[in-house]
Amino acid sequence: MNFRSATQLRTSTPLMALSSEFGAIGNICQADLPRRSFLKVAATAGLLAVGSRAAQATQQFSSSGRPPNQSQSGELIDLSIHDASELVRRRKVSPVELTNACLTRIERLDSTLNAFITVTPELAAAQARAAETEIQRGRWRGPLHGIPIALKDLFDTAGVRTTAGSGVFKNRIPTEDAEVVSRLKAAGAVLLGKTNMHEFAFGGSSLVTYFGGVHNPWERAHIAGGSSGGSAAAVAGRLCYGALGSDTAGSIRQPAAYCGIVGLKPTYGLVSARGVIPLSWSLDHVGPLARTVGDIALMLQTIAGYDPEDTASTPMKVPDYTADSQKPTATLRVGVARDFFFESLDPEIERATNEALAVLEKLTAGLKDVAISASTQERRRSTVRLAEAYAYHAKMMAASPEQYQPETLARLRPGVEIDTVTYIQALRELAHTRRTIGQIFQTVDALVTPTSPILPPAIAEFTGDRNGSIDFVNRNIRNTSPFDVYGWPTISVPCGFSASGLPIGLQISGALGQDAVVLQLAHAYERATDWHTRRPSGIGLTRNTWKNRTATASPPLRRYAKTAAEHAGNLIPQTNQHAMSIPLLGPLLDPGKHRMRSPQRLRIRAPSARRYRFR
């Protein structure tokens, strides 16, 4: 059986494109329309959403195994890696179609999210066609074959610019791939491009970057977190199926929590960091971001393993992460580290965490409060990080300081004051901590904490220093940075939303080398909840924004908008009734006339690839 041609993509049911595309807001916003026209567009979108939901509910796989309408980009981008891979393996969907859907999504939305620094459509198209040909000939390489993936822009890619988000490296083109990039290519993954990030990974806002700040797909007026903010925003915004990031103080887990996706910091040394622009060699971890725990397991399977050319790489067993993640959790003992990690929590995060703990208690052998040394870890980590970061940047700072962002320079320069004795002592303390701290796992199998004590702040709060206030900097990584010192595998999974619709993350950690146990518990929690199924149905248009924009409308129009909002809320599961978003539909207006077209006369096609049409 051959793949269907990518040029055959069409939406047979007009409403099918609605619920899956929040990209229209990238083409139409309040600034483009008078207020009344703007509201009419959004209101009609909400009313049409009812039909969309009903149509989606009736979709079933055909007797031939082909899912009707699944090739439309709106549905394709919502697939998990696991599901997309299975369709590709069975030759029901082409890697070209998946790539086309992602590139179209990037074209529509990235001007709003700013998740990518470099997009590589020609490379992605060539890799997708090669994957299609191989699979047609029975040479399926595995679950990532033909799956579009993005890379944080500090992973070296041969022939493709790698900038680390900095003007220092704005024209840097490596000649070799990072080890993890080589492994992804060997697995047949399609590389879409390089994602935006906090400059040189030295911060948690992803606003300090030569290429402009990253925006949160759930509310574009808020940060996406950092330093892997672009990777998290790209995954949450459905611009790619998965992405790689790096984590030195929480730079995978914190943006994953802020963007409502899954992010894993593997055991230190499990995944090679060779060919990755460093922040701190002793603390840097490389790991995946995706929308489900199962997808994280598939990505980890590909990138994990000993690299003899990486001095930090450690030989350790690499099990079948997918199989192990699906094992029962009834015998797992779960520790809850309330001291330190639960202090000064945002009330909504505390509520969501307690609800998550109640779920875990039913899934496992029970919960047990445990104490863990955490309050002193940040001093040790910050000393090692700063000394090693300064060592890497010293010559470049001296040669071209003007090419750095001023906030990054201000953070790096104090490294000159750390003397050799102080650094070596801190490094020895870090090594000793990693050897001894794991004794806690004699009485528990996994440890649970909130990922972050705070919700993703508004970008407007980052005035002056784009790194954020001292309070933000300290609290932002408070719950994540100790685990970079410990070296333990640690994952963040979605566990709820605030009343304003901002995501909340739960952090699950395990002993050194026990990444499979972390995935096992995370997967069980994910199956017992539906948080991972939520998606941003409108970029930056939350319920509060909707209320603000309808406040000045006429009473009849406010009633019309209210009805639309209620119906549009049905597009996504809403256990938290306050966390809803409204999709906007550009096609509902005649071009240049701002005049409503009759919904009955609408014929909506799947988004065209335009620049990225494949042959």
- Which active-site residues does the annotation give? 152, 227, 251
Dig out the tokens for 569 from the structure.
Answer: 């809320």
Task: Report the 10 Å Cβ neighbour count for 297.
Answer: 29
DSSP track, 369-411: E-----TTHHHHHHHHHHHHHHHHHHHHHHH-GGGS-HHHHHH
Burial class (CB in 10 A: 0-12, 13-18, 19+), 60: exposed
3-state DSSP assignment of residue 589: strand
CB count in 10 Å sphere of residue 549? 17
Read off the tokens for 356. Answer: 């998550």
Task: Give the burial string for 158-190 (b: 16+ CB within 10 Å, else e).
Answer: eebbbbbbbbbbeeeebeebbbbbbbbbebbbb
Q: What are phi and psi of 589, to 5 degrees?
A: -110, 140
Structure tokens at 439: 């004794």
**Residue 61 DSSP SS3:** coil
Other beta carbons within 10 Å of 552: 11
Closest CA to 250 of 544, 559, 491, 511: 491
Ramachandran area for residue 78 (φ above 0: left; ψ -120 to 50: alpha; else beta) = alpha
Using left for φ > 0, alpha for ψ between -120 and 50, and beta otherwise, residue 443 falls in alpha
**Contact (Cβ atoms closer than 8 angstroms) between residue 271 and residue 287:** yes
Token pair listed for 372: 């863990």
| Torsion of the alpha carbons at 46, 49, 51 and 56, rounded to the nearest 10 | -170
Quick one: CA torsion of 553, 555, 559, 564, rounded to 10 degrees?
Answer: -20
Q: Which residues contact 523 (CB under 8 A, 6 or more apart)?
A: 293, 294, 297, 325, 326
Q: Which of 339, 377, 319 is nearest to 515 (CA)?
A: 319
DSSP E strands, 233-284: 242-247, 262-265
**E strands present in 349-501:** 366-369, 446-450, 490-497
